[in-house]
Structure 1
Amino acid sequence: MAYPREISIADAIKSYNALPKTHRVHWSKARKDEVVRAVHEKAISFHEARERYLLSRSEFEQWEADYLADAPAGTGRMQDA
C-alpha cells in the first residue's frame, strides 16, 4: 500500500482527478500520464495500478517512458517497478 493507512484506495485515487475507475476507458496520453504520475507520487502502488488497469509491466514501462520524455529534468524512473 503506497498511500497512508488511514485512507482507502478509493480516497487516494479521488485525489488524482484524471485516474479512471477501471481499465475500460479510452487511454489518452493524459490518462496514461496521470496513472504514471500517481504511481511516481505513491498515491497508488505500481502493483495496484497494474491490477486495476490490467497493465503488463512492459505496457506500464512504455507509458512511463512517454511520460518521462515530456517531464521536467530530474524526474526519475520508478526503481521498484
Structure 2
Amino acid sequence: MPNPRNETIASRIKRAGLPESYDVHWSKNRKEEVVKAVRDKLITFDEARWRYLLSRREFESWEREVARDAGARKDATRRDLELT
C-alpha cells in the first residue's frame, strides 16, 4: 500500500494503531501489529527498529512467532471445518 508523500511516520503509526514508543508491554498482538505494518509497507523495517529500539534478530523472532501463530490458527480452522 503506497503512502502519500506528505504523510509522516507518526501519522502512519497512528493510523495503523501501533504503539507510539518502545516503552510498552510487547504482547503477542502488539508484536503482530508491528510485523504486519512492516510487511504491508505501512512503515519500513528501519522505522520500526528506530521507533521501537529493535534489533534485527529481535524483529526476526517476532516474525517467526507471528508465522507460527498464523499456522496454528490455520490448522485449528481446518480441524474445525473437518468436524462439521
TM-score by length of 1: 0.79
Higher helix share: 2
Q: Which residue of 1 aligns with 2:45?
A: 46
> Share of identical aligned residues, percent?
55
Give the number of the structure whose alpha-carbon radius of gyration is greater.
2
**Deviation per residue, 1:17-73 (Å, 9 max, x gap):** 1x1111000010100000000000111000000010000000000001111122368
* Conserved? CA contact 1:9–1:44, under 8 Å: yes
Shift of 1:11: 1.4
Q: Which runs of 4+ in 1 moved over 2 A?
A: 70-73
* Conserved? CA contact 1:3–1:9, under 8 Å: no
Tell me if 1:23 matches 2:15: no
TM-score by length of 2: 0.76
Q: Distance in 1 between matches of 2:11 and 2:49?
A: 18
CA RMSD between the two structures: 1.7
Alignment gaps of 5+ in structure 2: 75-84
Task: Report the AA paired with residue 50 of structure 1.
Answer: R
